[in-house]
Structure 1
Amino acid sequence: MIFTLHGWSFSSSVWEGTPFSSANHLELPGHGESPFLSTDLPELSAEVASLLPNGVTLVGWSLGASVALLTAALYPQKVARLVLLAPTVKFSGVSQPEVVVKRFLKRLRRNFSEGVSFFREFCSEEAPPVGEKLNPERAVRLLESFCGLDLTRYASKVKAPCFIAVGDEDRVTCLEGAYGLFRVLPKATLRVLPGADHYTLLRRLSF
Structure 2
Amino acid sequence: MDKVFTLHGWSFDSSIWSISSFERAVHLVLPGHGISPFKSTDILNLSKEVGEFIPFDSTLIGWSLGASVAALTAVFYPQKVKELVLYAPTISFSVVSQPETVVKKFLRKLKKDFLGTVYYFRNLCSKERWNIPEFSREKTIELLESFTWFDLTPYIKRITLPVTVIVGEKDFVTGLKGAFEFWKITKKCTLKVVPEADHLTVLKYS
| Same fold, TM-score > 0.5, yes or no | yes
Which of residues 49, 52, 58 in structure 2 aligns to 1:50? Answer: 52
Report the Cα offset of residue 137 of structure 1: 0.5
> Matches of 2:5 and 2:31 in 1, distance apart?
16
Give the aligned partner of residue 187 of structure 2: 186
Report the Cα offset of residue 49 of structure 1: 0.7
Correspondence list, 1:166-177, <5 A: 166-177=167-178
Unaligned runs of 5+ in 2: none
| 1:10-64, Cα deviation, whole Å (9 max, x unpaired) | 0000001310000000000001101211000010011101111111110000000
Give the aligned partner of residue 112 of structure 2: 110
SS at structure 1 position matched to 2:79: helix
Report the Cα offset of residue 93 of structure 1: 1.2
Give the aligned partner of residue 153 of structure 1: 154
**Segments of 4+ moved more than 6 angstroms:** none
Give the aligned partner of residue 79 of structure 2: 77
Give the aligned partner of residue 119 of structure 1: 121
SS at structure 2 position matched to 1:71: helix
> Matches of 2:72 and 2:162 in 1, distance apart?
14
Give the aligned partner of residue 200 of structure 1: 201
Amino acid at match of 2:167: V
SS at structure 2 position matched to 1:181: helix
Aligned residue pairs, count: 204
Report the Cα offset of residue 71 of structure 1: 0.2
> Matches of 1:25 and 1:45 in 2, distance apart?
15
> Matches of 1:78 and 1:139 in 2, distance apart?
27
Amino acid at match of 2:132: G
Equivalent residues of 1:127, 1:199 under 8 A apart:
no
> Matches of 1:4 and 1:34 in 2, distance apart?
13
SS at structure 1 position matched to 2:198: coil
| 1:63-90, Cα deviation, whole Å (9 max, x unpaired) | 0000000000111011000000000010
Give the aligned partner of residue 18 of structure 1: 20
Unaligned runs of 5+ in 1: none
SS at structure 2 position matched to 1:118: helix
> Matches of 2:129 and 2:190 in 1, distance apart?
27
SS at structure 1 position matched to 2:75: helix
> Matches of 2:169 and 2:102 in 1, distance apart?
21
> Matches of 1:127 and 1:200 in 2, distance apart?
11
> Matches of 2:202 and 2:129 in 1, distance apart?
11
Amino acid at match of 2:151: D
Please, what is the CA RMSD of the aligned residues?
0.8
